Structure 1
Amino acid sequence: MRFSDAWRACVGTGRMDLALRRDYQDSLALIQREIGFRHIRGHGLFSDGMGIHRPFRHLEQEHVRYSFTYLDQVVDAYLELGIRPFLELGFMPSGLASGDQTVFWWRGNVTPPRSWRAWADLVRATVTHLVDRYGLDEVRGWPIEVWNEPNLTQFWQGADADAYYRLYQVSAEAIKEVDAQLRVGGPAISPGADEWLERFADFVIGHDVPIDFVSRHAYTSGPARHVPFGSRQRLAPASRLLDQFALPRKQLAGTPLADLPVHITEFNSSYCPDNPIHDTAFQAAYLAPVVAAGGDPADSFSYWTFSDVFEEADVPTELFHGGFGLLTHRQIKKPAFHLYAFVARMGDRFLSRGPDHLITTDADGRVTVLAWAPVDHTGAGRSPRTHNLRFSVPVDAPAAFLLRSTVDEEHGNAFAAWQEMGRPPSPLPRQFDTLREAAEPARSHRRLPVRDGRVDMEIALARHEVTLLEITPVTGSAPPWWDDDDLLDGPS
């Protein structure tokens, strides 16, 4: 049985034009080297910062020019790094917007289009350009999602469901005019408005509107208590994320949409981009069971986001500011980064899973164990100080080599090191070097005995620890003349 890699299918990002920055591209390159996601999704494709929709007046006539200068640079950079777009159609370009309501520090317009025909033209022209530039076979592999969280008034004017249905229909039909096999879906709803999906399904079924996948988001945080340059929230158990992942299939059971792929196009603990929980070792241990099991209910689940190069709430005032990213600015790895990097090193053959571990193997007989300490979601300090785990795995060799990589409150935790060095808002170069070293997992290794074809182990996990055990069969041996005990025994 294969271990699902739905965790790798997509990762989130800040608005698309941020991809023009060096820090962003350096961060994405690191993510791809050590983790390797397949798709990337973010807001702002049609926002003014990308410069695609360019209305102008000539000879007393209104015209529109489409400029793909920045879009080409962004997509080229993605493809060069081995990652493909998961396109989100939004937000509304100011030259096409029917109102002035915006969201975020960078002012993404969230009003319907003044002209539905002009919106269809924009969608059709953009998709046609991508097909012409990158090829039909390539773009058929890029899911296209219509808008973002239209159930929230801050993301869609009035949270007007009927207006969203029209936006979806016009967009989907424009996409299918370019090519019937291009994949389109939605409604990308946030938690707390689950009935939206059912009503959306009724609409697309009743009006025979094209749909190739359904999408929603998942978070476990409650209302935010805002402090200057930060937020604090209570969390529900991480299992609630898996419940949210599973909900679309439950809601669509027995309908014509029951067999469609389900994409969780955003998930995290907190939905606030300034909640320090994102920077902690707690975050990695909290999300470990979700990453291990999320492929059961969903075809993909996209961590929001890969990098703190983001700016929805404003320009960050500190290196560690509670950003969504797996990486801070300047590529400091957070504990959650290592959770993903650990899973990326696991085998593709599923052996077993429990409430505190996942075990896989690969074609070479290497066994990998991802283990995590259970957390108390009501307070990080209430999590158990230690957690013991015992397991037995098959190894086809007389002995095995163990490499253990560990992240916890003291290891692989640059946030803790940053706090201890006085929380410098803009670290000096030597402080950055220290933080990069502090961000690396602790490594240990030893030889293990194999008895009756198995390795039996018991390990102790510290508070909020996530650890990766790589158990490799030992097949080589030292030459007969080699003796480690006489390394200093030369001729007298």
Structure 2
Amino acid sequence: MGLKAMITTAQSTLCTAVTHISVNAAHEIGPLNHDWRFFGYDECNYTYTPEGRRMLERFGKLGDAPYYVRTHFLFCNGSCTGTQKFGSTNLYHEDAQGNPIYDFTYIDLILDTILESGNKPYVELGFMPEDLADPSFRNNPWLGGLDPYRESGWTYPPKDYHRWHGFIRTFTRHLAERYGSKEVDTWYFELWNEPDIFYWSGSDKDYCMLFDFTEQALHTVLPNARLGGPTCTGIFDQGGGRELMQTFLEHCKTGTNAATSATGTRLDFITFHVKGAEFPRNANATKAVPSVGNLVHQIESGVEMIEAAGFGGLEIVLSEADPDTWAAGGINDNANMRFRDTEYYASFVACAYQRIAEIAQRYGAPIHPLAWAFVFPQEECFPATRTFATQDIVKPVFRAFDMLSRLGSHALELSSDSTADSALEQQLDSDYGKAAPHHYTGLGAPTMVSGWAARNDAGQLQVLLYSHCDDIDVHEERSIELQITGLEPNQRYQLHHWRIDGTHSNAHTQWLAEGHPKYPAGEKYDRIKTADALELLTPEEIITATSAGTATLRFTMPTHAVSLLTFDLQ
């Protein structure tokens, strides 16, 4: 018996439920804008490494590119060598007389690499250059012999907000001169990262002041550029993220602008973060899983705050939207991170993004989820860090983006009789609404099956379906009955059915079969690498619509799976 047959036999049970999906191919419900085309990572210096370049190029080659790329530490001082959770460009320092000196070498290299890959920068304006930071960071008695700037100095407010204004103005002018204002106007700019926690050593009022000076400097040079904030953590029922969001929106609406003394501050889009779980360092942690419902609740809470503050309809970027909080941690830090290498991560993303799209439709403006994941060079193979690839072997989650990219730009009506039960989600997750959950096991969570339907400009019809249950240990099969109406009567269609699951488009499964080597090589590596490609579930076939223009397809989906079906008129 082959590997895939063995796994299918071990994991599958009798299909006990049927999910009915209906698609009306003749009913276009509006544009499908591919709002998920955003990703990012902490380590700016990993951008131009060989692994970083190849990962960027993978996204740049997707059919819906460009993707917007966000990274931390663009303004920091240091060695300009990539390390986990830090980075630097040495963009700014001052001479002995306090005169500014700029060196754009590394920041140009980062931005050039993003653009050369076919993507666009999402420029995070942060963190504080060492010579601009309030010098009180040097007086921390708890640091001992540690580098005070590396430990916390980059989190401090500026020593002089007018100097910060000049710094932003000079940086922005450089971008306009190097790339052209027309190009830079297509980028996104965001001030700081999570200033409601340890990334910012100032107060909420200090952040609002920083935003005022940043906005005035940026738009003096680039009046059409897009600037957003406050980039806070999750909008839970209480906590620092909610408090900062409230303060910031009130300030932008009716506060006194610190840079201009006018009332209010221009705000082009709003940003905050959402996470489905928090897995702390604990090698002996008991079972826990991410919560799609908790993540979605945070978004709904944020949208409610934004509408109440008078900014309803403004574009929203969830500039970190992830199953959990700790990208650099892996399976040796907390065994619950095991899901990141598997099909579970792919089905979680598809499920969460589809529900975000529903919220955006109700809200009446785009909501963009940004996946905070990238690469960690030289790591062991499949260590469950939050990445899209490991040792240049693509993970199933990247194939989910591959599938999403193949959807057309014309949304079609899709309905499913398997939908989310918000009341049940809240009942199962004891941390629901309070924080990113620590101890949610997913026990009793429903399996949700839904997705998107679309048509591209060439007339191809696509149906993307996911099956997802928060409980990672549920392995069942569900019968799917997909009925499509509105087809050309009696016409033939070529069908391709692509699949991500435990045995398709899944290099992790092959890696396990190879004995889970830390650094696979030779033919063993080649077999693992080959398994990372997007794979057909069944050979391509021809189906014929009825005289009424309908077609019905029946197939099964495991609990954690993503399918893409494409229909080409023959």
Shorter-normalised TM range: 0.7 to 0.9
Structure 2 unmatched runs, 5+: 1-28, 78-87, 141-146, 257-263, 330-336, 361-365, 420-448
1:119 is aligned to: 164
User: In the aligned structure 2, how far is the partner of 1:368 from the partner of 1:418?
Assistant: 31
2:407 counterpart of 1:346: yes
From 90, 96, 107, the counterpart of 1:71: 107
**Does the 8 Å contact 1:373/1:464 carry over to 2?**
yes
User: In the aligned structure 1, how far is the partner of 2:544 from the partner of 2:149?
Assistant: 57
User: In the aligned structure 2, how far is the partner of 1:291 from the partner of 1:462?
Assistant: 19
Q: Deviations along 1:80-115, whole A, 9 cap, x unmatched?
A: 222111111111222222326899999882122222
From 281, 286, 311, the counterpart of 1:257: 311
Are the structure 2 counterparts of residues 434 and 285 from structure 1 closer, same or farther at C-alpha, using a change threshold of 3 Å? Answer: same
From 215, 219, 238, the counterpart of 2:275: 219
Q: Following superposition of structure 1 onto structure 2, how do residues 175-254 of structure 1 map, counting pairs within 5 Å?
A: 175-191=218-234, 192=236, 193-205=241-253, 206-207=255-256, 208-227=264-283, 234-254=288-308
2:349 is aligned to: 287
Offset of residue 236 of structure 1: 4.9
Q: Give the secondary-structure state (helix, strand or coil) at the position aligned to 1:173.
A: helix
Offset of residue 51 of structure 1: 1.6
1:54 is aligned to: 93
For the aligned residues, what is the CA RMSD? 2.6
Q: Which moved more, 1:165-174 or 1:44-53?
A: 165-174
1:157 is aligned to: 201
Offset of residue 128 of structure 1: 0.9
Q: Following superposition of structure 1 onto structure 2, how do residues 13-162 of structure 1 map, counting pairs within 5 Å?
A: 13-34=41-62, 36-48=65-77, 49-57=88-96, 61-98=97-134, 99=137, 109-152=154-197, 154-157=198-201, 160-162=203-205
1:168 is aligned to: 211
**Does the 8 Å contact 1:12/1:304 carry over to 2?**
yes
Are the structure 2 counterparts of residues 161 and 146 from structure 1 closer, same or farther at C-alpha, using a change threshold of 3 Å? Answer: same
For residue 350 of structure 2, what is the amino acid of its counterpart? A
1:380 is aligned to: 472
**Does the 8 Å contact 2:250/2:309 carry over to 1?**
no
1:395 is aligned to: 487
User: In the aligned structure 2, how far is the partner of 1:464 from the partner of 1:291?
Assistant: 15
Q: Give the secondary-structure state (helix, strand or coil) at the position aligned to 2:30.
A: coil
User: In the aligned structure 2, how far is the partner of 1:292 from the partner of 1:226?
Assistant: 32
1:337 is aligned to: 398
For residue 449 of structure 1, what is the amino acid of its counterpart? T
From 383, 390, 398, the counterpart of 1:328: 390
1:4 is aligned to: 32
Are the structure 2 counterparts of residues 388 and 105 from structure 1 closer, same or farther at C-alpha, using a change threshold of 3 Å? Answer: farther
Q: Give the secondary-structure state (helix, strand or coil) at the position aligned to 1:294.
A: helix
For residue 454 of structure 1, what is the amino acid of its counterpart? T
Structure 1 unmatched runs, 5+: 310-314, 475-492
Q: Which moved more, 1:432-441 or 1:386-395?
A: 386-395
Offset of residue 186 of structure 1: 0.2
For residue 306 of structure 2, what is the amino acid of its counterpart? L
From 368, 372, 381, the counterpart of 1:305: 372
**Does the 8 Å contact 2:176/2:222 carry over to 1?**
no
User: In the aligned structure 1, how far is the partner of 2:67 from the partner of 2:349?
Assistant: 20
Are the structure 2 counterparts of residues 103 and 151 from structure 1 closer, same or farther at C-alpha, using a change threshold of 3 Å? Answer: farther
Are the structure 2 counterparts of residues 137 and 436 from structure 1 closer, same or farther at C-alpha, using a change threshold of 3 Å? Answer: same
2:16 is aligned to: none
Offset of residue 224 of structure 1: 2.3
User: In the aligned structure 2, how far is the partner of 1:459 from the partner of 1:248?
Assistant: 38
User: In the aligned structure 2, how far is the partner of 1:349 from the partner of 1:369?
Assistant: 12
From 377, 381, 392, the counterpart of 1:319: 381
User: In the aligned structure 1, how far is the partner of 2:525 from the partner of 2:286?
Assistant: 27
Q: Deviations along 1:448-467, whole A, 9 cap, x unmatched?
A: 12112122112211231211
Q: Give the secondary-structure state (helix, strand or coil) at the position aligned to 2:543.
A: strand
Q: Give the secondary-structure state (helix, strand or coil) at the position aligned to 1:425.
A: coil
Q: Deviations along 1:46-65, whole A, 9 cap, x unmatched?
A: 012212012222xxx22221
From 456, 463, 469, the counterpart of 1:369: 463
1:489 is aligned to: none
Larger RCO: Structure 1 or Structure 2 (Cα < 8 Å, ≥ 6 residues apart)? 2
Offset of residue 359 of structure 1: 1.7
Are the structure 2 counterparts of residues 43 and 103 from structure 1 closer, same or farther at C-alpha, using a change threshold of 3 Å? Answer: farther
Identity %: 21
User: In the aligned structure 1, how far is the partner of 2:290 from the partner of 2:149?
Assistant: 26
Are the structure 2 counterparts of residues 80 and 251 from structure 1 closer, same or farther at C-alpha, using a change threshold of 3 Å? Answer: same
Offset of residue 387 of structure 1: 4.2
